[in-house]
């Protein structure tokens, strides 16, 4: 029920922006760039819907859940491993990916490659977050969960830090904090083992004298800004200036306030907002902002309603929501949203009916939730 409702709201968003593209973007586009960018965004929406629908057609059982779990771990190890190796100079991603087709990482390598999945550190951080949620949500035994937490906490956290993405680090921190509420014991075990191992290692070998931090000094300095003042112009990477530019375009005419300048037409003004709410206003006006937020809130409401069996999905959603003011994280543009297809598929897997050992894992939490709801209902009737 949660997944079919989410597909319904996603379909409504596609309908709205199809109308917006034909009635606002195309008539007002002067260079054709807006049509190209808007058409691409609409294509992404349709791709998400089709991917979501196709995933929902495949029945999930315990064997498939295990396959998905190990596939998520392998993918997470690949992304984090290559990023960390590049940061420490053990691997040159540009050389490593140049043999790939030009429509994948081979093209990114000629731009500003930051990992094997994206050319921006922000998107890399989101992919790491999504794979972490999928790996933890499909772990069927306590041992699998502890191992998954080890990979997520150590490699995921280190790679996000080294990526230099400040909003990525905030997303990952919130994700871990939400998971900590449900998995306190397992996370404490992982942290304890890590600190003990680090202490033993340093006591045996000492701190390496030839440790070269020059390759990641930029990442360290970028993340250090968060400890100083996260609301400065430097910490926000100049985003306040971009917000003001986008708002000036919106307030330039009454029609722009109501219906926006058209899906993708921000490209003609070179005015990507780097803020989901302002970007929604820019593309679709107040009408677009209200429509999109209504659908998104209803989708996230389902995540909250099914949190007892999809806690990892709740943690992922809260983590992503941490950067709605600094990026269009839940909204596809040329620079964001490539990962939303994975977001919806993970939602289908983690919010669907639990299977096998996944069912036994969530039974206690579900029973507690039902008991508390029933108790509240009885008390209400008595009063």
| DSSP state letters, 94-161 | HHHTTTS-TTTHHHHHTTT--SSS-SSHHHHHHHHHHHHHHHHHT--SHHHHHHHHHIIIIIIHHHHH
For residue 357, name the pLDDT band (cuts at 50, 70, 90): low
- Which residues, 6+ apart, have CB-to-CB distance to 177 below 8 Å? none
Mutual orientation of helices 33-56 and 2-20 as an angle, nearest 10°? Answer: 160
Q: Is 354 helix (H, G, I), strand (E, B) or coil?
A: coil
Q: Tell me which H or E stretch contains 62.
A: helix 62-87
Q: Tell me which H or E stretch contains 175.
A: helix 166-182
Mean pLDDT, residues 290-306: 89
CB 178 within 8 A of CB 319: yes
Q: What is the pLDDT of residue 235?
A: 53
Least confident of 89-103, 260-274, 308-322: 89-103
Best CA proximity match to 80, nearest among 143, 153, 173: 153
CB 67 within 8 A of CB 295: no
For residue 35, pLDDT over 60 is answered with yes
For residue 366, pLDDT over 60 is answered with no
Q: Which sign, positive or negative, has the C-alpha torsion 35, 39, 42, 48? A: negative
State how far the Cα of 73 lies from the Cα of 208, in Å rounded to an integer.
30
Q: How many CB atoms lie within 10 A of CB 328?
A: 24
Q: What is the pLDDT of residue 75?
A: 92
State how far the Cα of 190 lies from the Cα of 147, in Å rounded to an integer.
8
CB 165 within 8 A of CB 122: yes
- Which residues, 6+ apart, have CB-to-CB distance to 58 below 8 Å? 64
State how far the Cα of 326 lies from the Cα of 323, in Å rounded to an integer.
5
Q: What is the pLDDT of residue 199?
A: 58
For residue 126, pLDDT over 50 is answered with yes
Higher pLDDT, 205 or 261: 261
Q: Is 306 helix (H, G, I), strand (E, B) or coil?
A: coil
Q: What is the pLDDT of residue 57?
A: 84
Q: DSSP alpha helices (H): ranges in 213-324?
A: 217-228, 239-250, 254-259, 266-269, 276-305, 311-321
Mean pLDDT, residues 122-149: 87
Report CA-CA distances (Å) from 305 to 109, 208, 232, 298: 41, 50, 36, 10
Mean pLDDT, residues 268-295: 89
Q: What is the pLDDT of residue 328?
A: 84
State how far the Cα of 39 lies from the Cα of 62, in Å rounded to an integer.
39
- Which residues, 6+ apart, have CB-to-CB distance to 181 below 8 Å? none
Residue 333: what are its φ and ψ, rounded to 5°?
-130, -170
Q: Which tokens belong to 15?
A: 């309908």
Residue appearing with tokens 């302002």: 278
Q: Tell me which H or E stretch contains 27.
A: helix 26-28
For residue 26, name the pLDDT band (cuts at 50, 70, 90): very high
Q: What is the pLDDT of residue 368?
A: 41
């Amino acid at each position: 029920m949660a997944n079919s409702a989410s597909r319904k709201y996603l379909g409504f968003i596609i309908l709205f922006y199809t109308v917006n593209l034909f009635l606002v973007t195309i008539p007002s586009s002067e260079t054709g760039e807006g049509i190209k960018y808007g058409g691409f965004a609409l294509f992404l929406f349709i791709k998400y819907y089709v991917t979501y629908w196709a995933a929902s057609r495949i029945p999930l059982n315990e064997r498939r859940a295990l396959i998905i779990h190990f596939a998520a771990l392998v993918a997470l190890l690949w992304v984090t491993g290559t990023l960390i190796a590049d940061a420490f100079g053990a691997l040159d991603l540009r050389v490593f990916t140049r043999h790939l087709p030009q429509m994948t990482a081979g093209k990114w390598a000629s731009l500003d490659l930051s990992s094997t999945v994206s050319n921006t550190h922000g998107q890399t951080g989101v992919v790491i977050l999504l794979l972490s949620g999928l790996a933890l949500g499909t772990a069927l035994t306590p041992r699998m969960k502890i191992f998954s937490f080890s990979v997520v906490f150590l490699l995921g956290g280190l790679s996000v830090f080294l990526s230099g993405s400040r909003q990525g680090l905030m997303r990952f921190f919130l994700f871990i904090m939400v998971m900590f509420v449900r998995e306190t014991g397992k996370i404490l075990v992982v942290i304890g083992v890590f600190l003990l191992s680090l202490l033993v290692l340093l006591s045996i070998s000492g701190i390496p004298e030839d440790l070269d931090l020059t390759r990641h000094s930029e990442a360290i300095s970028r993340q250090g800004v968060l400890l100083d003042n996260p609301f400065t112009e430097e910490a926000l990477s100049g985003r306040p200036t971009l917000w003001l530019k986008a708002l000036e375009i919106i307030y330039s005419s009454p029609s722009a306030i109501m219906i926006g300048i058209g899906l993708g037409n921000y490209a003609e003004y070179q005015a990507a907002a780097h803020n989901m709410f302002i970007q929604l206003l820019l593309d679709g006006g107040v009408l677009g902002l209200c429509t999109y937020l209504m659908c998104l809130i209803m989708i996230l409401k389902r995540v909250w309603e099914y949190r007892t069996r999809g806690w990892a999905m709740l943690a992922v959603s809260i983590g992503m929501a941490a950067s709605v003011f600094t990026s269009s994280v839940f909204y596809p543009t040329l620079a964001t949203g490539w990962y939303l297809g994975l977001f919806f598929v993970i939602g289908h897997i983690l919010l669907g009916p639990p299977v096998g050992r996944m069912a036994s894992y969530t039974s206690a939490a579900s029973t507690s939730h039902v008991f508390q709801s029933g108790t509240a209902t009885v008390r209400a009737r008595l009063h």
